[in-house]
Amino acid sequence: MPTVAITGASGFIGQAIAHRLCKAGLKVRGLVRASKKNLSLEHQNFTQVSGNLENIESLHTLVLGCTALIHCAGAIRGATKHDFIPSNVQGVANLLQVCLSQPVPPRVVHLSSLAAREPSLSPYAWSKREGERLFQKDAGPLNWVILRPPAVYGPKDEALLPLFQLGKKGIAMQLGPPEGKFSLIHVEDLTDVIIRCLEFHTVRSTILEVDDGLPNGYSWESVFHIINPHIKVRLRIPPKILLLIGKSNERLSRLFGYAPLFTTGKVAELCHSNWVCDSLDARQQLEWTPQIPLEEGLRHLFASDRLMFLKKN
């Protein structure tokens, strides 16, 4: 039975991929930080490997004998390039080293980010582009594909769910410019395209953007209308206020020693006006069609969110 390795197996996207592959009858070996509890990943086909991208020994254990590697792990918190280098740059270098040392190197699907398209915007975006460049420069004979998804949503997502929940209650909180356009993708559609990458070995050494297939992307207004056609309160946070919050969070992080998520770099990403994907190449080369439009994705998301609330109470 083929074995697929996954980094970031305890994360929102990594768990979705692991569950899908296990249900399909594949063996899955997932890299998980020792501090994580992963009861939701318990499956007879799943083997947990404790470690991280900086631990070469754990990476060897993860990759040994695998036919494919899906690289989902990475840092999303930090204020400077230095915060992102260990995971998003050196971590990629370590993985390439380990994969190339295998008697039969695995096929690699590297989950990057649409932010890599604009590396000057933030340290995070820069680090994702640098990780891509390592594949292009140092992957040698490896068979690899890089995917650039936009914002990903779905069950267990903690980033977009609060905005969606506010919208459902009639409160539209806009964090980007009115003219801004962006793409989205449901985690199940992203999982589908990753599996396609594992199957289509002739598609290699390429970078593909993926989204839910909506031409020209969404505007903030269109998303709010889909969430709730009867919005009662509209809040647009001015860029100056966002920058003030980002700077304050960076200063507090230095004072209290934590890695910040909302930073001036994140504000620059939010204020960028074009995060629309061009997924034509992915759809043609992988013979893939996204299946979950935002309306359907939100319907299932709100239903699962209510179920989770009922279980807690």
Domain assignment present for residue 298? The answer is no
Q: How confident is the model at residue 158 (pLDDT cuts 50, 70, 90)?
A: confident
Q: Which one is predicted more confidently, 239 or 313?
A: 239
Quote the pLDDT of residue 302. 86
Structure tokens, 70:
């899906």
Q: Which one is predicted more confidently, 176 or 1?
A: 176
Quote the pLDDT of residue 40. 58
Q: How confident is the model at residue 303 (pLDDT cuts 50, 70, 90)?
A: confident
Domain assignment present for residue 236? The answer is no
Structure tokens, 32:
């998980």
Domain assignment present for residue 134? The answer is yes
Domain assignment present for residue 88? The answer is yes
* Mean of pLDDT over the chain: 93
* CATH number of residue 205's parent domain: 3.40.50.720
Domain assignment present for residue 174? The answer is no
Domain assignment present for residue 258? The answer is no
Quote the pLDDT of residue 313. 40
Q: How confident is the model at residue 57 (pLDDT cuts 50, 70, 90)?
A: very high
Tally of domains within the chain = 1
pLDDT of 38 > 90? The answer is: no
Structure tokens, 122:
């933030």
Quote the pLDDT of residue 300. 87
Give mean pLDDT, residues 193-201. Answer: 96
Q: Which domain holds residue 82?
A: 3-158+185-211+276-291
Give mean pLDDT, residues 248-274. Answer: 96
Phi, psi of 108 (to 5 degrees): -120, 130
- Cα separation of 99 and 186, whole Å? 29
Q: Can you tell me which residue has the tokens 């993708």?
A: 185
Q: Which residues pair with 27 in a beta bridge?
A: 3
80-110 per-position pLDDT tens digit: 999 999 999 999 999 999 999 999 999 999 9
Domain assignment present for residue 202? The answer is yes
137-146 per-position pLDDT tens digit: 999 999 999 9
Domain assignment present for residue 178? The answer is no
